[in-house]
Structure 1
Amino acid sequence: MVSHFCEQEGERRRWFFSWRRELFQWELDLVSQLNDILEPVVLSLDDDSWIWRPDVDGIFSVNSAYNLLVDELRSEDELEEEVAVVFEQLWESPAPSKCVGCVGSVESSIHLFLHCPCALRVWYGIFRWLGVVIVAPPSLMLLFKVMKGAARGKKTRSGFFMIWHATIWCIWKAQNKSIFDNDSFIPDDIVENIKVVSWKWSLARMKTSPCMFYEWNWDPGECLLR
């Protein structure tokens, strides 16, 4: 029952939740966002109803959901044409690809960019670099939301989105080199390449004070807060 999670204090309502484990810092930020959403909620005895907030009429439609995702994933700055093509084709590519980390397998894009053991090691390396502990989610969209929740502010969030794109881009290029150039897919090397690529992108695209690469390599979050 909803009443089990809130109590009235005069004219204000205080929400409280119990968790089965201690929350990570990025999860605490999400709880704070949840409290902000619940703050204006008014409880009543009327029948419950669903309202789709992204639509002015409160009615869900595929078009409004699509526009919401486009706005959520759109970068503040235009990507280079070659990079943009990768992201446009990533989500609904009809052609299966070979996974260099899984011999003999024909895999989906989700596997290639996330669940393949090699790709997963890259993501773990990136999140470790960002100071975030994660458990691999079932989809890239949820992984994107994890990175969004880990950001400490708007500027950091934009930078983390850029790092997310850089990671996808570098995994894509490494997969292609492994297949077409018989190159090695080495997760640790790819992580280091992502750091370099994202640093260069930050200098070219982010509206922040420039930082040296050693600073970016040490803590990109601090660089993004400048």
Structure 2
Amino acid sequence: MAKGGSLEERWFLDNIKCKLGEGKQTKFWIHPWAGTTPLRFTFPRFFHLCENKDVNVSDLGRWENGRWIWELKWRRELFDWERGGGATNSLLSVISDVCPSAGTDDQWIWCGAKDGSFSTKTAYMAIKASRNAIALAVINEKELAMVWDTPAIHKARVNAWRIMRNRMPTYNNLGKRSVPLTTEEMTCNACFHSPESANHIFLSCPKSERVWDEVQRWMGITSARPRLIASHFVTFIHMGRGKRIEKLLKAIWMCTNWILWKRRNESRFEGRPWTINSVISEIKARIWSWNYEFCIVEKGLSFSSWSSNDLLLKLM
């Protein structure tokens, strides 16, 4: 059961996982048995070097004194840097956490529900989450490199990188990792309506949309907002002219998403609700501070002038 097809077609496959038994019906490289992603995607170089890409888990090891010993097979001898490198250790670490179980059959489990049982309600939630995941799929290395070039504190840059790679511990992502969650837990705690995904938290939640409205009013720019995170990043940073304005807009985009994530955590784990005004005030103060720390644009403006609307006009 390989994961294939378009993202919209994969809503079902992305929400099932293999519970490994003896490993006789589970493909080592193709099926998602060691985590939620097939090993061929996690370790593409080793997939290229493997002896048999269609091999079952049970054929790549043996039992010895009641203990499973992995015996991976390659088309050629691995080079020293391949055998002793971090990637090899990472592969072994991943598969060592999930060993075959003698005398039991492999099973497929529905991850959309706590008890592993499929229902129309959990299927609907999975379809909505899959559509949100599509909005995170369009990204390239150039855009990721731009994240690390942004004049911002390290925490905010790491946060942005994780957002663009869909690595945030949202409840949608935790559900895909088989963390037991209720429907209520998987719902956004800002709007209490949609499944909590990265795309929803940072773009499409009604409260997030209002935050971006206020950010654009502060900048003095008007533009339609793309529904894809990577596209939103590229569109937003090119709303002004010149390299220094682009640097400023990158920092603002990063700061806004970082603060939205902090507010989400405070609300969910500490029960502290947040307002649009409080988020906008913190964004303005943070960017003011970053401007002095990283010399993004000129420092001659007073904070009062800096924090009032149409900032880009004042910087031209």
> Is the contact made by 1:155 and 1:224 (CA closer than 8 Å) also made in structure 2?
no
Letter in 1 for 2:167: S
Distance 1:72 1:88, change over 3 A: closer
Residues in 2 aligned to 1:155 and 1:224: alpha-carbon distance in whole angstroms: 10
SS at structure 1 position matched to 2:238: helix
SS at structure 2 position matched to 1:150: coil
Alignment correspondent of 1:69:
143
TM alignment of 1:4-19, pairs within 5 A: none
Distance 1:197 1:179, change over 3 A: same
Q: 1:153 aligns with which of 238, 242, 249?
A: 242
Residues in 2 aligned to 1:157 and 1:94: alpha-carbon distance in whole angstroms: 25
Alignment correspondent of 2:298:
209
Q: 1:119 aligns with which of 184, 202, 208?
A: 208
Residues in 1 aligned to 2:276 and 2:141: alpha-carbon distance in whole angstroms: 34
The percent of aligned pairs where both chains have the same amino acid is 24
TM alignment of 1:111-190, pairs within 5 A: 111-190=200-279
> Is the contact made by 1:137 and 1:143 (CA closer than 8 Å) also made in structure 2?
yes
- Whichever structure has more helix as a proportion of its residues is 1
Give the TM-score normalised by structure 1. Answer: 0.63
Structure 2, unpaired ranges of 5+: 1-138, 172-186
> Is the contact made by 1:163 and 1:198 (CA closer than 8 Å) also made in structure 2?
yes
How far the C-alpha of 1:151 sits from its partner, in A, is 0.9
Alignment correspondent of 1:49:
none
Alignment correspondent of 1:89:
162
> Is the contact made by 2:152 and 2:290 (CA closer than 8 Å) also made in structure 1?
no
Distance 1:147 1:105, change over 3 A: closer
SS at structure 1 position matched to 2:233: helix
Letter in 2 for 1:213: F
How far the C-alpha of 1:144 sits from its partner, in A, is 1.6
Larger CA Rg, structure 1 vs 2: 2
CA deviations over 1:82-113 (Å, ceiling 9, x no partner): 33332232232274335222326432101111
Distance 1:200 1:78, change over 3 A: closer
How far the C-alpha of 1:181 sits from its partner, in A, is 1.4
Q: 1:106 aligns with which of 192, 195, 212?
A: 195
Distance 1:223 1:169, change over 3 A: farther
Alignment correspondent of 2:6:
none
Q: Does 1:221 align with 2:315?
A: no
> Is the contact made by 2:248 and 2:297 (CA closer than 8 Å) also made in structure 1?
no
Distance 1:152 1:115, change over 3 A: same
Structure 1, unpaired ranges of 5+: 1-64
CA deviations over 1:20-47 (Å, ceiling 9, x no partner): xxxxxxxxxxxxxxxxxxxxxxxxxxxx
Cα RMSD for the two superposed structures: 2.3
Number of residue pairs matched? Answer: 160
